[in-house]
Amino acid sequence: MKTAARLDDLPFENHYAQLDAAYYSRVEPTPLTDPELLHFNAPLAEELGLSADAARDPGFTAVLSGNQRIAAGSYIATVYAGHQFGQYVPQLGDGRALLLGQVRDADGGLRELQLKGAGPTPYSRFADGRAVLRSSIREHLCSEAMHALGIPTTRSLALIGSSLPVRRETLERAAIVCRVAPSHVRFGHFEYFYLLQRWELLKPLADHVIDDHYPELAGFPNRYAAWLTDVVERTAHLMAQWQSVGFCHGVMNTDNMSVLGLTLDYGPYGFLDAFDAHHICNHSDEGGRYAYDQQPMIGHWNCSRLLQATLPLLDDDADKAVEIANGILNRYPAAYTDRMMALWRLKFGFLSAQEPDRDLINRFLNLLDRGKNDFSRCLRALSELDAPDARLPPLRDLVTDRDGIDAWLVDYRRRLQFDGEPDAARRQRMLGVNPKYVLRNHLLQAAIERAEAGDASEVARLFEIMRQPFDEQPEYEAHYAAEPPPDARHISVSCSS
């Protein structure tokens, strides 16, 4: 793969722009005032075929801030709908995002580049089309943190800041992230055309996704059913991965659900600090619809909306289409449960699958829940336990219920001895799946406040730490792996985040 020294040297394509105009609007970006490159994702750039020096070219920042056009770019904003907090909104769309085009990565896969915060589009609904520095930092950092955790996600190539003031709850600074993903197509894209009863437009959209990302289904009989089955299973697996690291999305509307099973749209997200199964990370979610323990069920419900919106693809006979869709949807519970149990067994160090495992795992989580003990730190401490060691483990100091954890540890050690794996090998496996570092809200808030004051160094530091979440990194342990201080344990995030 030839390395490009400039962003404009990449061989851009745009398959979405080849669809009918009903799917999008052509929009030029609104230039960002006084743009400044605050952070550059060099590892991702390398995957895209950009050199490490590409960001030094003034044209890099100019293009990603909307001040210079890519010659081969086809700037478009796509239209979609969605169920927001359970209520159907008939038209949404890319209200502050523009698709530049696609490039081929080192493996030949397609990656879309999208500018988020590039100004108003026909779908902005009277808004300014801008993103603020606060939310842009949150997305730029978390998308890479999730990638490092092995969780499917959109990513961010660059964070561009500006002196341009924008009004939210207060006056803030504008920013742009260059979001990168194989596709940004959402469940809501299909809902839009289905509920308008423009069913003839569903097939070309599905064909676009399948042709670009499921080439193995070319000429496959019932390929739409095969594709949707994969979407449902990917979504179930994604929910299991979120739960396993304590990630709360905060706004799981169908317009924020990817048809490739990616984590999409980082708004009011949060990683669990004190474990609370009912934790609500988004203070706009007054009813707790998207609480931590509700995410798997919401994933299932969202898949049901996608399947409803694609019924015309499944069969010309309406009853037969519903039967096929129900069969696909019914695969979700087992896909979620199987992946969730497999992940928990990895995190608890079990080599084999035994019937009592579920109860043992739930007892541990219930101990954390009752004491509101730190989720990530307790699982990391569990990784360091020696099965036959009679000494009191560090984990015991992290769990409020000492008697409860002592009784549990007796059963846990017995379970480990059943597998008969050497402690060193088990410990190594567990340390590779239980992160020491997660992107906690108080760490983000500190980086945001410094960046708003003109110092982006903490953004760069967090980026590097979170790229290696399973490594010890002893120089950062005392601050970045610690529980949040008391005055930072209830940082509030909302849909404007």
- Amino acid identity of residue 466, one-letter, is M
Let me know: does 5 contact 45? Beta carbons within 8 Å: no
pLDDT mean over 334-338: 98
Write the DSSP string, 68-90: S--TT---EEE---EEETTEEES
pLDDT of residue 487: 77
Q: Is the pLDDT of residue 182 over 80?
A: yes
Is 249 inside a domain boundary? no
Domain that holds residue 113: 7-188
Per-residue burial over 100-128, b = 16 or more CB atoms within 10 Å of its CB, e = otherwise: bbbbbbeeeebbbbbbbbbbbbebbeeeb
pLDDT mean over 27-38: 96
Helix (H) or strand (E) holding 37: strand 36-40
What's the domain count of the chain? Answer: 2
Question: Other C-beta atoms within 10 Å of 2: how many?
Answer: 7
Q: Is the pLDDT of residue 497 over 80?
A: no
pLDDT of residue 492: 65
- Report whether 246 belongs to an annotated binding site: no
Is 240 inside a domain boundary? no
Rounded to an integer, what distance in angstroms lies between the CA atom of residue 134 and that of residue 115? 16
- Amino acid identity of residue 464, one-letter, is E
Q: Is the pLDDT of residue 213 over 90?
A: yes
Let me know: does 40 contact 61? Beta carbons within 8 Å: no
Residue 185, classed as helix, strand or coil, is: coil
pLDDT of residue 169: 83
Residue 298, classed as helix, strand or coil, is: helix
pLDDT of residue 385: 83
Q: Is the pLDDT of residue 409 over 70?
A: yes
- Report whether 119 belongs to an annotated binding site: no
Q: Can you tell me which residue has the tokens 């979170």?
A: 466
pLDDT mean over 391-400: 85
Q: Can you tell me which residue has the tokens 């590039």?
A: 118
- Report whether 167 belongs to an annotated binding site: no
How confident is the model over 351-362, as pLDDT tens digits?
Answer: 999 999 999 999
Last residue of a domain, one of 431, 464, 487: 431
Is 102 inside a domain boundary? yes
Is 274 inside a domain boundary? no
CA distances from 250 to 47, 178, 253, 256, 265 (A): 30, 22, 9, 11, 10
Lowest mean pLDDT among 103-112, 176-185, 192-201, 345-354: 103-112
pLDDT mean over 333-345: 98
Contacts of 16 (CB under 8 A, 6+ apart): 23, 24, 76, 78, 99, 112, 208
Is 484 inside a domain boundary? no
pLDDT of residue 404: 96
pLDDT of residue 387: 60
- Report whether 188 belongs to an annotated binding site: no
How confident is the model over 432-465, as pLDDT tens digits?
Answer: 999 999 999 999 999 999 999 999 999 999 999 9
Rounded to an integer, what distance in angstroms lies between the CA atom of residue 169 and that of residue 401? 41
pLDDT mean over 422-428: 93
Q: Is the pLDDT of residue 370 over 60?
A: yes
pLDDT mean over 274-282: 95
How confident is the model over 71-85, as pLDDT tens digits?
Answer: 777 899 999 999 999
pLDDT of residue 8: 87
Catalytic site includes residue 255: yes
pLDDT mean over 119-126: 94
- Report whether 265 belongs to an annotated binding site: yes
- Report whether 93 belongs to an annotated binding site: yes
How confident is the model over 322-332, as pLDDT tens digits?
Answer: 999 999 999 99
Q: Is the pLDDT of residue 390 over 70?
A: no
Q: What percent of the chain has pLDDT over 70?
A: 97
Question: Which one of the listed residues 94, 255, 369, 374 is annotated catalytic?
Answer: 255
Last residue of a domain, one of 149, 164, 188: 188
pLDDT of residue 180: 98
- Report whether 203 belongs to an annotated binding site: no
pLDDT mean over 401-430: 94
pLDDT of residue 252: 98
How confident is the model over 473-490, as pLDDT tens digits?
Answer: 999 999 999 999 987 776
pLDDT mean over 10-37: 95
pTM of the model: 0.96
Structure confidence at residue 236 as a pLDDT band (50, 70, 90): very high
pLDDT mean over 126-144: 96
pLDDT mean over 103-122: 95
Is 104 inside a domain boundary? yes
Structure confidence at residue 1 as a pLDDT band (50, 70, 90): low
Let me know: does 116 contact 110? Beta carbons within 8 Å: no
The bridge status of strand 82-84 relative to strand 87-89 is antiparallel
Is 322 inside a domain boundary? no
Last residue of a domain, one of 129, 153, 188: 188
Is 110 inside a domain boundary? yes
